[in-house]
Amino acid sequence: MKHYEVEILDAKTKEKLCFLDKVRNKLQRILYLPVPDPQWYPARQSIRLDPKGKSLKDEDVLQHLPVGTTATFYFRDLGAQISWVTVFLTEYTGPLVIYLLFYFRVPFIYAAKYDFTTSKHWVVHLACMCHSFHYMKRLLETLFVHRFSHGTMPLRNIFKNCTYYWGFAAWMAYYINHPLYTPPIYGEQQIRLALILFLFCQIGNFSIHIALRNLRPPGSKTRKIPYPTKNPFTWISLLVSCPNYTYELGSWLGFTLMTQCLPVAFFTLVGFIQMTVWAKGKHRSYLKEFRDYPPLRSPIIPFIL
């Protein structure tokens, strides 16, 4: 069996960290750095062929990499890590709780005379149910549906993500539950249309998550081309690479129409921009990885974007 001599340098300083003799098998499982600093646990290690290149995958094998029997790799510390499950649970629990604080009008939010009062508009109660349903769905999907290809993310990101989700939840909830809130201009017709759109897209989003889960066996990192299943809500996969984002956008468009609230519209716009960035990246990844990837698909909006 072929053996390798592996030298590992610091990606920033080019200082030699260690030298491994007679290495074989899968790269990342072998190259857990034998350095004295215990903070460099495997999840925060990035091994690269180039100091500024991409991290090699756990499943990469030395004999399949463009290296000789003597190989030089570069190490970068990714920083303290946190599991994706913990991240999502934290991100989604915040908006759920924060919105309810405004809905129940706890003290010190509005004027004292409105403490623990309820809105006279039924759309406010409907909006609370929809918002709560959305984040409860996300929490349950995190626990029982999603399978993560990467086990962790940098700890510092959780503060940025929570600021985004928690901050927008507070901003939206403040105005929707405000005593002076004004219902949508077209009344019940607008609200019911928005509710149908919201629920349709919530079911669609869940259907896509189930289909993606079934695409990847437990404990596997195998990537396959997503195709529609017998569930009609998955048929949109014929036209877009990231239908879960398409349905997510539709849900928030419905919530915006339902509440006719500017902070909700702004949250929807920001979310759409971010999801478009993610969708384009995943679309490019699919095209690069699969030669037979369906050419008709767009990243997030059929035939447009």
In the prediction, which pLDDT does 24 show?
A: 61
Buried/exposed 92-103: b ≥16 CB within 10 Å, e otherwise: bbbbbebbbebb
The larger pLDDT score, comparing residue 111 to residue 27, is at 111
For residue range 266-289, list pLDDT tens digits in order.
Answer: 999 999 999 999 999 999 999 998
* Average pLDDT over every residue of 174-187: 96
pLDDT at 42 over 80: no
The larger pLDDT score, comparing residue 15 to residue 247, is at 247
Q: How confident is the model at residue 30 (pLDDT cuts 50, 70, 90)?
A: very low
For residue range 51-79, list pLDDT tens digits in order.
Answer: 777 776 666 666 667 676 677 778 777 77
pLDDT at 3 over 80: no
pTM of the model: 0.85
* Average pLDDT over every residue of 186-198: 97
Whole-number average pLDDT of the chain: 87
CB 244 within 8 A of CB 212: yes
In the prediction, which pLDDT does 84 show?
A: 87
Domains and CATH numbers, the chain: 4-79 (3.10.20.90), 80-137+149-176 (no CATH), 184-305 (no CATH)
* Average pLDDT over every residue of 14-38: 61
Q: How confident is the model at residue 253 (pLDDT cuts 50, 70, 90)?
A: very high
In the prediction, which pLDDT does 274 show?
A: 96
Cα–Cα distance for residue pair 16/8, rounded to 1 Å:
6
Q: Which residues are paired to 215 by β-bridges?
A: none
- In order of 178, 198, 217, 299, the CA distances from 187 in angstroms are 18, 17, 47, 34
In the prediction, which pLDDT does 1 show?
A: 56
End-to-end CA distance of the chain: 49
Q: How confident is the model at residue 198 (pLDDT cuts 50, 70, 90)?
A: very high
Question: Could you write out the DSSP letters of every residue in 199-242?
Answer: HHHHHHHHHHHHHHHHHS-TT----------SSGGGGGGGTBS-
Q: Quick one: what percent of the chain has pLDDT higher than 90?
A: 63
